[in-house]
Amino acid sequence: MSEETLQKAYDPRVARRLAAYIKPYWASFTLSLFFMLVSAGAGMLGPYFVKMALDEGIGAGSLPMLRQAVLFYFVTAAVQWLVIYLRVNLMARVGTAIIYDLRNQLFTHLQNLSLGFFSRYGSGRIIARIVNDVSVLRRFLTFAVLAVARDLFALVGVVVIMLRMDWRLALMTCTVLPLMVVVTARFRRVARENYRKVRQAIGWVNAVLAETVQGVKVIQAFAHEERNDTLFREGPSAHALKTSLEAARVAAIFFPSVDFLNTLATTIVVYVGGQAALGERITPGILVAFVLYIDRLFDPIRSLSQRYDQFQSAMAAGERIFNLLDTPPEVQDAPDAVPLPRIRGEVRFEHVSFHYPDDPETPILEDVDFLVCPGETVALVGETGAGKTTIVKLLARFHDPTEGRVLIDGYDLRTVTQESLRRQMGIVLQDPYLFSGTVRENIRFGRLDASDEEVEAAARAVGAHEFIARMRHGYDTPVGEGGVLLSVGQRQLIAFARALLADPRILILDEATSSVDVQTERLIQQALARLLQGRTSFVIAHRLSTVTHADRIFVVDRGRIVEQGRHAELLAQGGLYTQLYRRGFQEMDEEEVSLWT
């Protein structure tokens, strides 16, 4: 997905893959090509009928021939209008259908990629692939592909007609073509580099915009709007302006140059042809037709130069999109993977070690070995970066261990399907994410076939029903994108209800550290007790009550479990847990312990 992919104007691999998307619509595509050739052919006949009207009608004093030539000219114009209308309609449907298929494939593939991919690539870059690059391909497939065929057909056809009418004038017209080749080649080289810079600039703008939208609360909280505005104006926005103006400057030189060469060719033909007409070697009709054909000769040249930019951008967009589609999930089901049967909840880590693929020299976990019995609650505590989150990610199989095995009820997670594993797991994140929609829809996300009664029962069980009922539309109240219309505590209670509705056998919970009011804190603690009951639970703990009531506490330090036991036992040992307790948990209100009793 590098922005440095724009090194060549044509990539046969990208072209072949795009052709595969066209294949299901080949009949419509071929019919559109036929319409395109008919319209180009009709356009080439126009000047010939003008010649007929001048020479065989006006010159010969024949009114019937003049009428016939005018009628033919009108018919070709009408045919051209009709086939262009049919072709544009047909290709709009074909192009939209192809992009529909491609966009759906991208969306499905994105959902199956491993979490490591999303940690390496920002959301702005990913969205740019889905939105911007797909739109580039839509314009290319809908308008540019057949237009190139039309322009080439028109270019060859006009040259052939001009040679047949008067080969000497045709050769004189072609004297400007070497200059055209030089100008076009120079434009292509400069335009390619400029376009690469423009794409990089747009990518920078998209990334900054995405980051700003996501972090707008922090920006406003620190009153940094003016500073960010200055940085954006002087950074990505100014860079995008500079590169776009440079690309426009090159285009502003090229296209007038094409027009000038067109005028030069016309001047040569009018002068030489005029002398020939005065000497009666050619007719006035041929001279006028040649002048008209010169415009038709340079129109496809001008159009092909513009299509080159579209073709170039489509190759770059296609390469980035196919690089994304070719990115394999880091965690995949084995070919012989089996569905995991209903589990009891026994979890075993057998000498598990882990490091990220791009940094094998930095171990994240080293020789982690433990057994958790069904229904047991384990609290994971440790410094930031100690490896707590990695343990639960391995348990949910968001990553595979680089050494050792993770087993549930004796099944190695690499031998079972991911779907059957995660359907029996519940995960509540530290900052619960809610989707755009209603409260009811977000709770039902835990089990899509749940009835309204089951949704409300789950909300009652975790203490969320009262505040939901007070909302203007109750369970049908919109929560906004990411749940922005709700408080932190309300989002967490809805996430608890969602997890409870799923009825997971194993629960992974990263406790929120956000401050909430006393009433909400009490509700959260009661909901947490209800949620953990009867389930194998792994809790990245931030609350004293969670730690003290856990069946076991794992103290994680530098990728190893250095201590384990109950709260009182670990305090008596006077080790790392005691230090963590004195620095953090001891400062919490001891009253929260009573909420569990």
DSSP conformation letters of 146-157? HHHHHHHHHHHH
CATH class of the region 432-503: alpha beta
Cβ count near 590 (within 10 Å): 11
Q: What is the pTM of this model?
A: 0.71
Percent of residues in the chain assigned helix, strand, coil, to nearest 5: 65, 10, 25
β-bridge partners, 553 = 379, 565
At which residue do the structure tokens 């809908």 appear?
142
Q: Is 222 helix (H, G, I), strand (E, B) or coil?
A: coil
Cβ count near 592 (within 10 Å): 18
H or E stretch at 341: none
Q: What is the pLDDT of residue 456?
A: 93
Question: What does the block give as tokens for 368?
Answer: 């982690």
List pLDDT tens digits, range 298-328.
788 777 777 777 777 788 788 888 888 888 8
Q: What is the pLDDT of residue 441?
A: 93
Mean pLDDT computed over every residue of the chain: 83
For residue 412, is pLDDT > 70?
A: yes
Domain boundaries of the chain, sorted by first residue: 12-165+307-329, 167-281, 338-424+506-516+530-596, 432-503
Question: What does the block give as tokens for 321?
Answer: 């999109």
Distances, alpha carbon 308 to alpha carbons 189, 302, 304, in Å: 11, 10, 6
**Is residue 173 packed enough to be buried (19+ CB in 10 Å), middle (13-18) or exposed (0-12)?**
buried
Angle, CA 306 vertex, CA 240 and CA 15 arms, to 5°: 90
At which residue do the structure tokens 């739109």 appear?
135
Question: What does the block give as tokens for 454?
Answer: 């089951």
- d(C-alpha 313, C-alpha 136), whole Å: 7
H or E stretch at 425: strand 425-428
Q: Is 459 helix (H, G, I), strand (E, B) or coil?
A: helix
CB 202 within 8 A of CB 132: yes
For residue 7, is pLDDT > 70?
A: no
Strands 347-354 and 403-408: antiparallel
List pLDDT tens digits, range 211-242.
787 777 778 777 778 888 888 888 888 888 88
Instruction: Tell me which amino acid residue 242 is.
Output: K
pLDDT confidence band for 122 (50 / 70 / 90): low
CATH topology of domain 12-165+307-329: ABC transporter transmembrane region fold (1.20.1560)
List pLDDT tens digits, range 484-507.
888 888 888 898 889 888 888 898
The mean pLDDT value for 53-74 works out to: 86
Among 189-198, 361-370, 416-425, 548-557, where is mean pLDDT lowest? 189-198
pLDDT confidence band for 514 (50 / 70 / 90): low
Q: Is 368 helix (H, G, I), strand (E, B) or coil?
A: strand
- d(C-alpha 562, C-alpha 368), whole Å: 10
pLDDT confidence band for 71 (50 / 70 / 90): very high
Q: Which long-range contacts (CB under 8 A, 24 or more apart) does 10-18 make?
A: 10/311, 10/315, 11/315, 11/318, 11/319, 13/322, 14/315, 14/318, 14/319, 14/322, 15/315, 17/318, 17/322, 18/137, 18/141, 18/314, 18/318
Cβ count near 467 (within 10 Å): 19
282: left (phi over 0), alpha (psi -120 to 50) or beta: beta
- Which homologous superfamily does the CATH classification assign to the domain defined by 338-424+506-516+530-596? P-loop containing nucleotide triphosphate hydrolases (3.40.50.300)
List pLDDT tens digits, range 89-110.
888 888 888 888 988 898 888 8
pLDDT confidence band for 512 (50 / 70 / 90): low
Residue 449 dihedral angles phi and psi, to the nearest 5°? -95, 10
> Chain centroid to CA 417: how far?
27
List pLDDT tens digits, range 472-482.
899 999 998 78
- d(C-alpha 543, C-alpha 381), whole Å: 10
Q: Is 177 helix (H, G, I), strand (E, B) or coil?
A: helix
Q: What is the pLDDT of residue 6?
A: 47
- d(C-alpha 458, C-alpha 449), whole Å: 14
Q: What is the pLDDT of residue 383?
A: 85
CB 545 within 8 A of CB 525: yes
Q: Which of 480, 535, 487, 548 is nearest to 509 (CA)?
A: 535
Question: What does the block give as tokens for 225?
Answer: 């709007």
- d(C-alpha 505, C-alpha 198), whole Å: 52
Distances, alpha carbon 562 to alpha carbons 50, 364, 367, 382, in Å: 94, 14, 11, 10
For residue 180, is pLDDT > 60?
A: yes
For residue 546, is pLDDT > 80?
A: no
Q: Kindly give the residue spans of alpha helices, DSSP state H, lying in 326-347.
A: none
Longest dimension (CA), the chain: 120
Cβ count near 202 (within 10 Å): 18
- d(C-alpha 78, C-alpha 7), whole Å: 43
Q: What is the pLDDT of residue 4?
A: 43
Q: Which of 201, 224, 199, 202 is nearest to 212 (CA)?
A: 224
Q: Is 387 helix (H, G, I), strand (E, B) or coil?
A: coil
Within this chain, domains 12-165+307-329 and 338-424+506-516+530-596 share the same CATH topology: no
CB 484 within 8 A of CB 442: no
**Is residue 223 packed enough to be buried (19+ CB in 10 Å), middle (13-18) or exposed (0-12)?**
exposed
